[in-house]
Structure 1
Amino acid sequence: MIKKIVENVKFLMLKKEVQSFINYYIFTIINAGISIFSISYLTKHIVPEDYGMIGIYTSILFFLPSLISFSANGLIAIEIVDLEVDKYLEFRNGYISFLLISFIGSSLISILFCLYFSEFGFVIIMATIMGFIQTLSSIHNTELFQFSKSTRFGLISTGTVLLGFLLTVVFISFFNLNWQYRISALLIAEFVFLIIRFYFLSSIGSSFKFIFDKSQFKYIIYYGAPLMLSVLAGWVLNQSDRYFLLHFFSLKEVGLYAAAAGIASFVVMINSNMIKVIYPLVYKKLSKREGKKFILKLTASYSIVILLISVVFCAGLYFFGHLFLGEKYQSAMPIIYIMCLGQAFFGIYSTTGLVIDYFKMTKLKTILVLLSAILLILLSFLLIPLFGIYGPAVASLLSFLFLSILSFFISLGLFKKHNIT
């Protein structure tokens, strides 16, 4: 019996997908550790009100890459599979050209917003620039995922996070600068590694030629248009809590939520890397009209794993969280617990959501996310009077639970509709 188990483990360890999975998660743990240590450092060096400004910045940055790319980054993965190499390279150049034009337009809109919301001018401009850089970086990331270069992806992501943290320490501790230089540190780190990605680790930069292809631009817009509303709904689901708090309370509470969300990003990292590992395999199976049992088994297994990880992580925070979270941020602990559980359910949604993505059911996905966003808004207004600053977090948890359940049943319908075995 033991011998058979050992043989099965050896067999799995030799599989490319399993090796990629392990690589991704090793770097995920490293990145999560750096991120949590960064939050610990920040909560001990800046007040919640300043962290609130960083929270506003991250909330703006949440949707800007999707706005600049018109939510069409998913096309990169699809076209890698569907097109010949030469055709794909041509598509990639056209896509980057589209991003450049979109960034110019987004920058003009950002300037107008700065004139109206002058107190948030710095975070708006920095989020716009960072959004563009992240959008370009995502092209390289997608190619790394598609070609299973997990180690290279891990080294790049860890290098970016580490450089951002080191620059933060230099700016704040050595030069005694303010919260704005935390954002500047992150921007510098992302830009440095973008150059490395495009010119040293790939030919994306050296082979780029500007292409004004109206037909391709229309294709990108047609694909992404239904998803733009989904991006707005996704922003409501993930970021609107800050603005509910800003309306009902103050920038201090926004700072507490931003710190809590940063720690809960440990679960977000696990979710995002899980998707990066499995989506090429899921897409290949669906392209052959198979994979129903695999996807259902994957969803069930991941549901158990991510919920268990979230509970264990929260238990660790309960006993040891006071050691790394600043004294002024201790009241954020219950928010962290709720957010971690909510993100676990979002991860469950992400597995079945791949089925919706593959069949390009963008309108359906938009409706699904929009319904969840509406539910979150209604619940937030109902729960804030009952739970105070914890109300938006509880509303998010319930909305993610609703999203995961509804997505599961929609995927079952798509299996039947497309005869997936």
Structure 2
Amino acid sequence: MSFLIKHRSFISYLSFSVATSALGFLASLLMMRLMSPDEYGRIALFMSLLFVVAPMISFAADNLVAINRAKLGKVEYEQFTRSFVTFSYLMFLVVQLVFFMLFILGVLHDRLFLLTPIYGLVQVLIGMASIEYVMDGKSIQFGMVAFSTSLASLLLTLLFLNSISGVADWRIAALLIANIIFLFFRYRGNTELLWTFSIDKSVFKDVVLFGFPLLLSVAPAWALNESDKIIVAKYVDMASVGYYAAASAIGGIMITFNTAMLNAMVPQIYQALGDNPEEMMPIVRRHVKKFMGTSAVFCCLFALVYGLSADLILPEKYAAARQIVFVVILFSLGRGLYSVLGLVTDYYGLTRAKLKGIIYGGIVTVGIATIGVMQFGIIGAAVGVGTGYLVLSLTLWFYLVKKSQQYCVARALDNSI
């Protein structure tokens, strides 16, 4: 009982995260049955664009909200949030105008992509409210709203796809409607923030200075995480994007498991590093072995269960995705390795090393995925992402070893004095 009380916040976040992820997985299974691979592929490309658009609208300065929430007084923070929301609205107008121009010029061929900026704006506003929930310790409210949003979007998706049409537009519409409805729940009692405009030049300057370096990292991060879908669309076809997205959705269970396990390990890793800084690399090795060993066991069990039920999970029209799932599951181990090493690099503030790793990983992902897709089909995309994360992990390992050696030298000098 004392454990539950002590870790109540963590348990709340973990429980709601698993439940919300389960709804997302259920929605994916539903869409595979009600939508053609081409339409499912359109959704995947939409989300790939959103990966870039949302940070453009917030200027990648979302974490500035959390910093100022902790640092500023009530009046100053309210002034900041009003100006930050206004800044986001202005960026939305710019991005939306660019998207209209690209659509008119024929660069964007799908009208669905015109909804990406408004979806990105909603995501920014939701993210800001979520940060406040977290900073205020409202884990139950945070989880309930996130779960309710996912449940509403699932029900609306089922309604729209069954009663109107099985096209991607209705899935995006369902997501938008659900997010907008619960956006007002998130800002209950403070909805005037959404339409009270304020232009504070000092806030605008802070947002630009804080976000610009982070905005530069969006491109390599997109290359690492999302370029695979664009490459499949370019060199194969939209149906293959749907197959690949379906395989990624199934294999995404590994990411959910790794995330839950990582959350449980965070306090242990940080406490160990704080108590024994001179033992940095042994601590890293120990936790990497623990994490990767557990992840590998789950990977094998998951692959076994999936292998026995693949025909039930993926309908016949997605049969081309069935074998790809095994590759996605296998290469998710590289992403898991990065998760642990990324925690340690964050602890030591090695942001430049992390950025270099993301850049190297993004370049490798694009290169191998392009060659792989051209030579072997969509399986090459999964190999590209997995290899990219492996390169990122090796880069972080190199810099952590370097950091450890520098610490040992400094300690030896201190002892000699």
Band of TM-score, shorter chain: 0.7 to 0.9
Structure index of larger Rg: 2
Residue 3 of structure 1 aligns with which residue? none
In the TM superposition, what whole-angstrom CA distance separates every residue of 1:78-127 from its partner, at most 9, and x where no partner exists? 33344444443333333222211111111111111211337634222212
Residue 97 of structure 1 aligns with which residue? 86
- 1:182-261 aligned within 5 A: 182-199=171-188, 203=190, 205-206=192-193, 209-261=196-248
Q: CA deviation at 1:11?
A: 5.0
Greater shift in the superposed pair: 387-396 or 116-125: 116-125
Q: For the Cα contact (< 8 Å) 2:357–2:393, is it kept in 1?
A: no
Structure 2 unaligned residues grouped into runs of 5+: 412-417
Residue 58 of structure 1 aligns with which residue? 47
- 1:375-394 aligned within 5 A: 375-394=364-383
Distance in 2 of aligned mates of 1:113 and 1:246: 18
Select which of 11, 15, 19 maps to 2:6.
Answer: 15
Distance in 1 of aligned mates of 2:130 and 2:348: 22
CA separation of 1:266 and 1:193: change in aligned 2, threshold 3 A:
farther
Counterpart residue identity of residue 247, structure 1: K
Select which of 152, 157, 170 maps to 1:163.
Answer: 152
Counterpart residue identity of residue 40, structure 1: L
Q: CA deviation at 1:318?
A: 1.6
Q: For the Cα contact (< 8 Å) 2:278–2:407, is it kept in 1?
A: no
Query: Aligned-pair RMSD on alpha carbons?
Result: 3.6
Distance in 1 of aligned mates of 2:283 and 2:76: 30
Q: For the Cα contact (< 8 Å) 2:243–2:321, is it kept in 1?
A: yes
CA separation of 1:274 and 1:46: change in aligned 2, threshold 3 A:
same
Q: CA deviation at 1:138?
A: 0.7
Residue 134 of structure 2 aligns with which residue? 145
CA separation of 1:246 and 1:163: change in aligned 2, threshold 3 A:
same
Aligned partner of residue 187 in structure 2, secondary structure: helix
Q: CA deviation at 1:333?
A: 2.4
Residue 77 of structure 1 aligns with which residue? 66
Distance in 1 of aligned mates of 2:279 and 2:63: 22
Distance in 2 of aligned mates of 1:417 and 1:315: 44
- The percent identity for this pair of structures is 27
Structure 1 unaligned residues grouped into runs of 5+: 1-9
In the TM superposition, what whole-angstrom CA distance separates every residue of 1:296-315 from its partner, at most 9, and x where no partner exists? 47665544444444443333
Residue 320 of structure 2 aligns with which residue? 331
Distance in 2 of aligned mates of 1:360 and 1:132: 30
Q: For the Cα contact (< 8 Å) 1:93–1:209, is it kept in 2?
A: yes
CA separation of 1:204 and 1:175: change in aligned 2, threshold 3 A:
closer
Distance in 2 of aligned mates of 1:236 and 1:268: 18
Counterpart residue identity of residue 163, structure 2: F
Q: For the Cα contact (< 8 Å) 2:364–2:388, is it kept in 1?
A: yes
Q: For the Cα contact (< 8 Å) 1:346–1:403, is it kept in 2?
A: no
Distance in 1 of aligned mates of 2:79 and 2:351: 25
Superposition misfits of 4+ residues, deviation over 6 angstroms: 273-295, 415-421
Select which of 106, 109, 112 maps to 1:117.
Answer: 106
Q: For the Cα contact (< 8 Å) 2:59–2:215, is it kept in 1?
A: yes
Residue 17 of structure 2 aligns with which residue? 28
Q: CA deviation at 1:56?
A: 1.4
Residue 67 of structure 1 aligns with which residue? 56
Distance in 2 of aligned mates of 1:156 and 1:416: 46
Residue 126 of structure 1 aligns with which residue? 115
Q: For the Cα contact (< 8 Å) 1:27–1:155, is it kept in 2?
A: yes
Aligned partner of residue 226 in structure 1, secondary structure: helix
Distance in 2 of aligned mates of 1:406 and 1:187: 38
Counterpart residue identity of residue 194, structure 1: L
Counterpart residue identity of residue 126, structure 2: S
CA separation of 1:150 and 1:65: change in aligned 2, threshold 3 A:
same
2:320 aligned with 1:320:
no
CA separation of 1:304 and 1:213: change in aligned 2, threshold 3 A:
farther
Instruction: Count how many residue pairs are aligned between Structure 1 and Structure 2.
Output: 408
Select which of 19, 37, 40 maps to 2:29.
Answer: 40
Q: CA deviation at 1:256?
A: 0.6
Q: For the Cα contact (< 8 Å) 2:102–2:108, is it kept in 1?
A: no
Greater shift in the superposed pair: 172-181 or 53-62: 172-181
Aligned partner of residue 36 in structure 1, secondary structure: helix
CA separation of 1:346 and 1:273: change in aligned 2, threshold 3 A:
same
Q: For the Cα contact (< 8 Å) 1:145–1:277, is it kept in 2?
A: no
Residue 7 of structure 1 aligns with which residue? none
Q: CA deviation at 1:205?
A: 4.5
In the TM superposition, what whole-angstrom CA distance separates every residue of 1:36-82 from its partner, at most 9, and x where no partner exists? 22222221222111212112111111221111111111222333344
Q: CA deviation at 1:12?
A: 3.6
TM-score by length of 1: 0.83
Aligned partner of residue 117 in structure 1, secondary structure: coil
Greater shift in the superposed pair: 380-389 or 393-402: 380-389
Q: CA deviation at 1:379?
A: 1.5
Q: For the Cα contact (< 8 Å) 1:55–1:254, is it kept in 2?
A: yes
Q: For the Cα contact (< 8 Å) 1:172–1:181, is it kept in 2?
A: yes
- 1:349-364 aligned within 5 A: 349-354=338-343, 356=345, 363-364=352-353
